[in-house]
Amino acid sequence: MTDINQLSPWPLLKAHHQKLAATPLSGLFAQDTARFDKLSLRLPGLLADYSKNHITEETVSLLVSLARAAGLEKRRDAMFAGERINQTENRAVLHTALRAAADAQMMVDGENVVPAVQKTLARMGQFSEALRSGAWTGHSGKEITDIVNIGIGGSSLGPQLVCEALGAFHHPRLRAHYVANVEASDLGGTLRRIDPETTLFIVASKTFTTAETMQNSHIARDWLLAHYKDDSASVAKHFVAASTNTSAVAAFGIAPENMFPFQDWVGGRYSVWSSIGLSVMLMVGADKFAEFLSGARDMDAHFKTAPFEKNLPVLLGLLGLWHRNLCNYPALAVIPYHAALRRLPAFLQQLDMESNGKRVMQDGKPVPVATGPIIFGEPGTDAQHSFFQWLHQSPDVVPVDFIVCAKPSDGTAAQHSMLLANCLAQSAALMTGQNNTAEPHRHFTGNRPSTTFLLDALTPYTLGLLLSMYEHKVFVQGVLWCVNSFDQWGVELGKVLAKGLEPEIAGTASPDTTRDASTAGLVAHIRSQST
């Protein structure tokens, strides 16, 4: 495995970066009137404009050479072929099979996994139709009005994002709620807003052992049983599961036919396309969920077949590497100019930072360069009145992804024109700045990069297109840095330590005398407060 900074295009890129730095972004536009056409890409439903980044066609050519030298094509094809590219967990990485066409062949260990995926989707569709039509009722015979998804990480962030983003397509009778935090007010506040007789809980956990999810699920089940005076038959009418652990699901009281499985080659942050997305399908219907999968499938096909020079996920991954390793930018701001996409930055935090926040390569050696950036963001225009001051005038330069729709979801044409004007003005202002040396506080250096993603409209299809694009971008960067983008051992460490601390905090075990003084002191103070 060759370090990225040892590949032959690397010194050429460093020299090119130093040379290019002498010309500001506005100067690059002045030099080439066709720059926008050369550095933007149109796909059905989406226009990506990356011309406001400090790159040229020569930059793209050098970056593409780096991708080829790093073996990106081979690694991409290995993923689609179902090879076990998640080496530390010995698993295939085939979330693309979750949105594959029904007649596609996608193999894992010699088996075409698409029929099993389609079978689960069909069962989800049947259940969704029954609940949405009112045929599926709660234990007392009342129609379901509230869906509560209990999960954490990808089992919550993904479906919550998609559900909120597609709010315009929700069933008028149904409301969705997402409980992830083990802190009591998250679940408690939800339970106070719902009626046990008209609520369906979805326990979203692959193993059905995730500590936070199971804690909340058992509390929710006790709440339901208290209402139904310990009638255990009520659980089967108010709980379903997205899981693979049949015995644990049955022991919980969920009927086997109400468990919707997915496979171990589906990572949590890539699982919204699977039965983890059941809450989404219940809210928008099977047809709209199919459109969501279709958008992702079309981006998969583009990523798999388009030449690197015109391949959007490849270009975005390379651009991210350019920013992180050549320009030394530490972060990426994601600003969706749509209130329904408010959870997108949080979703991308997990997707990017959990995937590529790694310090060692797949061979165990330290990565020789910085890896995944800090991801943060809030919806525009709100963000313009908080941290945009920092984006415009801080000594730190942070690239921005602007996401906006050409067509409005709601409101008047005047409202949407104002929104679009604000989005475009911010990207222009970051680039051009404002020369006012006479008043230093009003001086803006500009020369700050951004990429604008212009969706035709926010629909299930374009949302699928957008999320799949980011998934593949993260994959590209993981290949370039030689890290495993599909494990998360940093998450596991804290969970292991928490297990040992729980009985000490509860007072059922003696304090561990080998703990560091800070942790021991905090435990002692907590225990003193409970006496």
Active site residues: 354, 385, 495
Quick one: residue 161, left, alpha or beta (phi over 0 = left, psi -120 to 50 = alpha)?
Answer: alpha
Rg (CA), the chain: 25
Give residue 33's Cα distance to chain centre: 36
CA distances from 395 to 55, 88, 180, 232 (A): 21, 39, 37, 61
The strand pair at 374-376 and 175-179 is best described as: unpaired
Q: Per the omega criterion (within 30 degrees of 0), is the bond before 96 cis?
A: no
> How many Cβ atoms sit within 10 Å of the Cβ of residue 395?
6
30: exposed, middle or buried (C-beta count within 10 Å: 0-12, 13-18, 19+)?
Answer: exposed
Following DSSP, what letter does each residue of 205-216 receive, concatenated?
Answer: -SSS--HHHHHH
Q: How far apart are CA 6 and CA 9, in angstroms?
A: 8
Whose tokens are 């075409």? That residue is 112
* Strand, helix or coil for residue 403: strand
Q: How far apart are CA 214 and CA 253, in angstroms?
A: 13
Q: 426 Cβ partners below 8 Å, 6+ apart?
A: 335, 380, 384, 388, 400, 402, 450
* Strand, helix or coil for residue 228: coil
Please check whether residue 264 is in contact with residue 91, taking contact to mean a CB–CB distance below 8 angstroms.
yes
Total residues found in the chain within this entry: 531
Q: Which residues pair with 404 in a beta bridge?
A: 454
Q: How far apart are CA 120 and CA 275, in angstroms?
A: 7
Q: 295 Cβ partners below 8 Å, 6+ apart?
A: 45, 460, 461, 462, 463, 464, 465, 466, 468
Please check whether residue 451 is in contact with residue 53, taking contact to mean a CB–CB distance below 8 angstroms.
yes
Dihedral (CA of 212, 217, 220, 225) sign: negative
Please check whether residue 318 is in contact with residue 60, taking contact to mean a CB–CB distance below 8 angstroms.
yes
Quick one: residue 46, left, alpha or beta (phi over 0 = left, psi -120 to 50 = alpha)?
Answer: beta
Helix axes 312-321, 286-305, angle to 10 degrees: 70
Q: What would the two tokens of residue 530 be?
A: 């409970």
Q: Which residues pair with 242 in a beta bridge?
A: 204, 260
